[in-house]
Amino acid sequence: MIVGNLKPVEEIAASVAGLKNVQVVGCGSCVSVCLSGGDREARQLADELSLPLYYPGGPPPAFAVSGIVRQCEKDLVKTYLTLPPETDAVVSLACGAGVQTLADLFSPLPVFPALNTTFLGALDEPGIWREKCHGCGDCMLSFTGSICPVARCAKSLFNGPCGGSQGGRCEVDPEIPCAWALIYYRLKSQNRLDLLQKLNPPRDWRPAGNTGPRSRIRTGIAGSPGDAPAPSSQTS
Amino acid sequence: MGGTHPHVCRIGGNQMSSFIVNEKCNGCLACVRNCPNRALDYRDHAGKRVLMHNMGLCARCGQCWRVCPEQAVEFRHLLESPWQEVVALGLTHCRVCGEPVCTFDYGKKVSEKLRMPAEALCPAHRREKGLRAWSRIRPASPPSPGGAK
């Protein structure tokens, strides 16, 4: 899932200082599950942002709270998320994709992010999410025992471990397990160590987004390219 | 598949579902065929086509709503579904003010863990009781410097 962290409240407050009516919008997807941007967090943030101590130059804005199951789907948001007419700005607790979707839909209304979108990760233990994927566009997990060296090796090495791996730990931070040590032991347990004999050539990073923003086009569903126009203005 | 269409009969129990289709549904199965989680299915039986929805599989992705050529899927109900009561348990009340404190079963569990009976007191009266006890046992105030002269 996409994992985000709440920005410092002072930073969010600075972005809405001087405004009168601000809508705080939670997202019911990834950031809700990682306990940073769901309905509960949206209400907590609105309460916190209402404190006058953040606004030495004037009164705090009035905050209202709403949410939607996913902020990153334009048609869904357009149909089901309505803002009060007096809204001066939106504070979104979604990931960067959700913030930009709201900003596109409600333009020219300013939409401010409340989270720092941080990584694609997994819940390893209750309350602990760890990065697992960089979305590099050319997955090599088949050859690495399903442990990603791009995301989990501090140097994103394709042939490891490096000389800084000590006792299964990374030289960057001993708290970080060496991804290539993990890969070695995983492949060993699978009797597939022969995969490490193969030298991985330098990577083509174009699928990772190095040639600009990426997109995915899925044909064969209603509204997709080549299909009949989607019923885009449904109001059910 | 439901609503007031003369050829449609409302399915028993459907009132509890959050997946609602209106009278425009004609059973084309576009939603069934496009549901990414296979949370929609259908059964043709005894002259009727019955559309079925499984909330446990549904990701609320909205694909059914997007693809429906008749705009029959009322997706709002999946976003704003009503509360459903799941269990009702007996309450223990504060013996002073009558405010609910906890369920009887939870209080019993706490008593077992503490190996002492949990007193039926709300937080305010529990605090008050503690302060009263403290006032009985606290040491006497030392004489003020002025009084010593």
Q: In angstroms, what separates the C-alpha of A199 from chain B's closest C-alpha?
A: 38
Average pLDDT over residues B43-62: 94
User: Model confidence over B136-147: pLDDT tens digits?
Assistant: 887 766 666 654
What's the mean per-residue pLDDT of chain B?
A: 85
Which chain A residues contact residue B68 at CB under 8 A? 231, 234
Q: Are strands B40-45 and B48-53 parallel, antiparallel or unpaired?
A: antiparallel
Q: What is the ipTM of this complex?
A: 0.72
Q: Name the residue facing A231 among B69, B76, B79 (closest C-beta).
A: B69
Q: Check residue B70 and give its pLDDT.
A: 96
pLDDT score recorded for residue A106: 98
Answer whether A39 touches B (CB < 8 Å). no
Whether the CB of A48 is below 8 Å from some CB of chain B: the reply is no
Q: What is the pLDDT of residue B3?
A: 43
For residue B98, pLDDT over 50 is answered with yes
The string of pLDDT tens digits covering residues B76-97 is 999 888 888 999 999 999 999 9
Interface test with B, best of A72, A74, A234 (most B CBs within 10 A): A234
> Averaged over B24-52, what is the pLDDT?
95
Query: How many residue pairs from chains A and B have C-beta atoms closer than 8 A?
Result: 39
Confidence (pLDDT) at B84? 85
**Would you call B131 helix, strand, or coil by DSSP?**
helix
Q: Judge contact between B49 and B9, C-beta under 8 A.
A: no
Q: What is the 3-state composition of chain A as percent helix, strand, coil, each rounded to the nearest 5?
A: 30, 20, 50
Pairing of β A89-92 and β B48-53: unpaired
Q: Residue with structure tokens 């149909």?
A: A79
Does pLDDT of B5 surpass 90? no
B133 pLDDT exceeds 90? no
Can you give the pLDDT at residue A233? Answer: 45
Q: Which residues of B touch A (CB under 8 A)?
A: 22, 30, 34, 60, 62-63, 65-69, 71-76, 79
pTM of the model: 0.82
Mean pLDDT, 10 residues at a time, over chain A (236 residues)?
Answer: 97 98 97 95 98 97 96 96 97 98 98 98 95 96 97 95 96 96 98 95 92 90 68 46
- Predicted pLDDT of residue A223: 74
